[in-house]
Each structure stands twice: as structure tokens, then as C-alpha cells.
Amino acid sequence: MEKITLKVNGMHCKSCKMLVEDGLGDLDGVEAVMVSYEQGTCDLNYDSSKVSLEKIKETIREEGYEVE
């Protein structure tokens, strides 16, 4: 399990937060997603043997937000 904090741009409300959390929550290997739209951050634990960081970022982008 690895723990990271991603900087997510473009979230402005609670719906955005839920979208990102749901999107990442559906990924296999991702656990404990915590998004704060006020801070523009996304804390999560993930299993790098099951899911890549790139896949996680990809998912966030698919939801319509920017991630560095």
C-alpha cells in the first residue's frame, strides 16, 4: 500500500468531490480516497501492484479535472 496526495485542479463543489471519490473508488487497488475540493487535494492509498499512478491520474482526468 502506498499513500499519496495528488493536487487536483478544477473542483469547486461537493459534487466534484463525490465524482472524483466515486471514480477512484471504482478502481481496483485504490482504497481510502479522501478528496477536499476546498484544498484541491486528493489523498488516497493504493496498491501499486494492482493499479498504476498513471491510471489513477487518468481516471481523475476522465472525470473532467486537472491533475499534475
Partner 1 sequence: MIVKKGFIAEGTKSQLDENTIKSLVMNIKGTKKCQFDWNTEIGYVTFDDSKTNLDKILDKIEQNKKYSCFLLDEDNDETNEKTIYIEGMHCASCEVLVERKLKKIRSINHVDVDFKKGFAKIKYDNEPSQKDIKRVIKSCGYKLSDGPVINQNKNLIELGGMLVIIIGVYLLMKKFNFFPDVSITDNMGYGVIFMMGLVAAMSSCLAVTGGLLLSLAARYSEKHPNYTGFQKLKPHINFNIGRILGYTLFGAALGLFGSIISVSTTVSGILTILASLLMIALGLQLIGVFKTTLNIRLPKKIAHKIHDLEKSDHKSTPFILGGLTFFLPCGFTQALQIYVLSKANPIVGALTMLAFSIGTAPSLLSVAAISSFLKGNVQKHFFKFAGVLVIVMGLFSINQGMILATSKIDYGTQPSIPTPIDNNNNNNNGVLDSNVKIVDGKQIVNMKIDRYDYIPSEFTIVEGVPVEWHIDASTAGGCAQIITVPKLDIQEFLSKQEDNIITFIPQKEGKLEFMCSMAMTTPGAHFKVVPNPDA
| Residue 16 binds partner 1, judged by CB under 8 A | yes
3-state secondary structure of 35: strand
Instruction: Please tell me the distance from the alpha carbon of residue 52 to that of residue 50, in angstroms, as a whole number.
Output: 7
Residue 31 Cβ vs partner 1, minimum distance, rounded to whole Å: 20
Closest CA to 19 of 60, 66, 47, 48: 60
**Considering beta carbons, is residue 39 or 52 the nearer one to partner 1?**
39
| Residue 5 binds partner 1, judged by CB under 8 A | no
Helix-then-strand count for the chain, H and E: 2, 4
| Residue 29 binds partner 1, judged by CB under 8 A | no
Which residues would be at the binding site for partner 1 (CB under 8 A)?
Answer: 9-16, 18-19, 22, 38-40, 64
